[in-house]
Amino acid sequence: MPAVLADVEELVTCESPSGDLAAVAASADVVARVGGRRLGAAPDRVVVAGRTHLRWRFGDGPTRVLLLGHHDTVWPLGSLATHPFTTAGGVLRGPGCFDMKAGLVLALHALAALPDRSGVALLVTGDEEIGSPSSRELVQAEAAGCAAALVLEASAPGGALKLERKGVSRYEVRVRGLAAHAGLEPERGVNAAVELAHQVLAVSGLGDPGRGTTVTPTLASAGASANTVPAAGAFAVDARARDTAEQQRVDAAMRGLRPVLDGAELEVVGGPNRPPMPASSSAVLFERAQEVAASLGLPPLAGVAVGGGSDGNFTAGVGTPTLDGLGAVGGGAHADDEHVLIEHLAPRAALVSALVADLLARPAP
């Protein structure tokens, strides 16, 4: 445990907000250093659009088991000043510790414990928190043809594994109107804020609670001054769906939006970002994980469906059996109370290591 905690501290104290390429590159150096120390091998560095991703491959044959994680976080530079790395009362804290730097350390220690790592790969990306724009194709290529993808993202509450993830779509609805003086002649304008309000209401009605589909207008803005009819506005939309048909239905509806006000214009940009990760993609691996946990004397594993996306959506999307949420147990991802429960780190690493060994010895059907 001292080595595990020291490695987590080394990763957490190198801040790595997704939007800062220099910070992500520096973090990649730290992950490479810690990984090299534990695995006895340096990773390949894959730089795409200025963003650094790391990949370890073991053995001369094809990859059969892929471990997957990311080293970028949502926390801005300077967060350590207000959220320092600490370990007290069995709880580890620090920006990005739960999502998901402790998970990366678990992956490294799990692989280090294997007597033979042939057929295993570990991919650590640097842009997952912003939708994996530069790493999506890399993730898909590494996962294609593998017998299993194990995602070291943080666990669900209570340590539950993530068996199903919704597909994620992101949009921006842009409204164009016509400016006019709000006091002298507002009738000469086309009010982009009013048009935006109509569209927000239309979009908010596209969800389907019965099918678990959510379509949520989020960040919005309109206008340039308080005494001018707004000439432009925009709002973001976050859409989540359990199945591809629903994701496609929402996409068609978004692209079918039409202006309500005479003279207003609309533009919808964006689209599906991550495909759904269905429960079927994790079923066999979850059963195997339960068997492995029992053989180790660990408590029975729980599994849940979640709305958040991860790179596991991409691995499942190329047909690779995928089990997610194998990382740290704790809570507060992206929040002030982000934390990891230290007592679960060793059992989690043991579970991942034994599961990889089991999959190498008995490939999943």
Q: Write out pLDDT tens, residues 258-271.
A: 999 999 999 999 99
Q: Write out pLDDT tens, residues 54-112.
A: 999 999 999 999 999 999 999 999 999 999 999 999 999 999 999 999 999 999 999 99
pLDDT at 365 over 70: no
Mean pLDDT throughout 136-153?
A: 97
How confident is the prediction for the chain on average, in pLDDT?
96
Mean pLDDT throughout 338-343?
A: 98
Mean pLDDT throughout 312-319?
A: 96
pLDDT at 349 over 80: yes
Q: Please give the structure tokens belonging to residue 52.
A: 């650094």
Mean pLDDT throughout 317-337?
A: 96
Q: Which pLDDT score, from 0 to 100, does residue 23 have?
A: 97
Q: Which pLDDT score, from 0 to 100, does residue 364 have?
A: 62
pLDDT at 219 over 90: yes
pLDDT at 254 over 90: yes
Q: Which pLDDT score, from 0 to 100, does residue 272 have?
A: 95
pLDDT at 330 over 80: yes
Task: State the pTM of this model.
Answer: 0.91
Distance separating alpha carbons of residues 256 and 20, to the nearest angstrom: 36
Mean pLDDT throughout 15-39?
A: 97
Closest CA to 7 of 27, 43, 32, 34: 34
Distance separating alpha carbons of residues 7 and 167, to the nearest angstrom: 33
CA dihedral 276, 279, 280, 285 (to 10 degrees): 120
Q: H/E element holding 27? A: helix 21-39
Going by pLDDT thresholds of 50, 70 and 90, the confidence category of residue 311 is: very high
Q: Is 222 helix (H, G, I), strand (E, B) or coil?
A: strand
Q: Which pLDDT score, from 0 to 100, does residue 362 have?
A: 84
φ, ψ of residue 104 in degrees (nearest 5): -65, -40
Contacts of residue 254, defined as CB under 8 A and 6 or more positions apart, other chains included, come to 169, 171, 173, 203, 206, 237, 239, 268
Closest CA to 352 of 322, 329, 327: 327
Q: Which neighbouring-strand residues pair with 161?
A: 303
Distance separating alpha carbons of residues 254 and 207, to the nearest angstrom: 11
